[in-house]
Amino acid sequence: MTLNELDINKSCYIKSLRTEGEARRRMLDLGLVEGTKIQAAFRAPFGEPVAYFVRGTLIALRREDTIKIDVEREQENE
């Protein structure tokens, strides 16, 4: 799944980034690296951007960026 599919208040782990160049560098600088846990915090009134908690920091990302981030859902405890 991609990051834009993550529901608010849910967490997942980054699997890969499907970007290149400056966009990739920007995402890596924000801490979006493979294996990093990310949580969707809240959505702006018109749907975007969406705020995410990453490594103790709140960042906002647009859909055009989040569709290029492959993630794996966090396993929920039973």
Q: How far apart are CA 56 and CA 58, in angstroms?
A: 7
Q: Is residue 36 part of a domain?
A: yes
pLDDT in the model for residue 78 = 45
Are the beta carbons of 52 and 40 closer than 8 angstroms? yes
- Write out pLDDT tens, residues 1-14: 999 999 999 999 99
pLDDT in the model for residue 53 = 97
- Write out pLDDT tens, residues 15-60: 999 999 999 999 999 999 999 999 999 999 998 999 999 999 999 9
Q: Which residue range forms the structural domain that includes residue 19?
A: 3-73
pLDDT in the model for residue 47 = 86
Q: How far apart are CA 21 and CA 8, in angstroms?
A: 29
Q: Is residue 61 part of a domain?
A: yes
| Number of domains observed in the structure of the chain | 1
pLDDT in the model for residue 77 = 59
Q: Is residue 78 part of a domain?
A: no
Place of tokens 């794996």: 72
Q: Is residue 43 part of a domain?
A: yes
